Amino acid sequence: MSQHPRSRADEWRFPNRATPPGSSAYYSVRFSPPALRETIAALYGWHREVHAILDDVSDPGVARLKLDWWRAETERTAAGEPRHPLSQVLAPGMAEHALPQAPFRRIADRVEDTLRGRRSADDEDQRDADEHDSGALFELIARCHGAAEDEPIAAARRVGAWCARVRRIRDAGMLARRAREVLPSDRLEAAGLNHEALVSLDHRHRLPELLQPVADKLQAERPGKTDIRPLAPALRVQARIHAALLHELRRCDLAVVDQRIGLTPLRKLWIAWRAA
């Protein structure tokens, strides 16, 4: 008996390339209500595809054109006219949950800032940038769970930004090799460095000592039980996994220059089960 050919949109259904088994995003979706899983997985996919422009397109002009295409595609999707297979998976949930355009635009704007070489001036500037990126993604996920009031939305953004800052520590070595922002300008200046010097072979070994006060600050700002309890299940899972990741990074003395420290899938599963 013949089978129906696999649709191009099927590759964006859960699990997809942005939510592969074993990842924190996978468990975030897996422990969400079944009716929301495809939409949340598609949101992770959208965030990944827009950010992939930074690595997949070497010409800045072409990269900005591609980013503008995704901006226009998001508007088409909201209007019920998606073209990309990912957008076709996202469209029903975008309509059902009345997802606003602003968070999508903020994410795209952050990618454009990176394309243009914008650097954060200080910790507050970097945190604001993360709220406009991962925070906007978490806002969209929260809205899928029915969040509509200002405080739950703001809480989702704050937790999204906190998780992004933890991942930046984890990925610091890779980011430095790619000449991406790791630390804000004022922290580098205080250490007698700039962004270009940090990524050089002469100074990259200083990353752990430079990251230590950042990690300490993140530990002090870690979302507590009262912060996490009201969050949507998908976001509670992310917050708990990232808290465990921060603990592991600190336990390993932030040795991230030439390796990527992470949690095993089994540990993530246990954390996610308890959180959800």
The single-letter DSSP state of residue 4 is P
pLDDT of residue 138: 98
CB 54 within 8 Å of CB 33: no
Q: What angle do CA 55, 58, 64 make, to 5 degrees?
A: 90
pLDDT of residue 5: 47
pLDDT of residue 6: 54
**Which has the closest alpha carbon to 233: 91, 34, 44?**
34
Give every residue of the chain whose pLDDT is below 50, as ranges: 1-5
**Which has the closest alpha carbon to 243: 190, 170, 157?**
170
Residue type, 230: P
pLDDT of residue 64: 95
Rounded Cα–Cα distance for residues 97 and 156 (Å): 16
- 3 state DSSP class of 191: coil
Q: Indicate the pTM of the whole model.
A: 0.94
CB 235 within 8 Å of CB 31: no
pLDDT of residue 31: 97
| Alpha-carbon 258 to chain mean position | 22
The dihedral region occupied by 253, where left means phi > 0, alpha psi between -120 and 50, and beta the remainder, is: left
pLDDT of residue 22: 97
Residue type, 102: A
Assign domain 8-275 to its CATH superfamily. Answer: Farnesyl Diphosphate Synthase (1.10.600.10)
Rounded Cα–Cα distance for residues 49 and 56 (Å): 10
CB 147 within 8 Å of CB 103: no
**Which has the closest alpha carbon to 143: 133, 134, 153, 135?**
153
Q: What is the dihedral of CA 88, 94, 95, 96, to 10 degrees?
A: 110
Q: Which two tokens stand for residue 202?
A: 């002469």
Residue spans of the domains in the chain: they are: 8-275
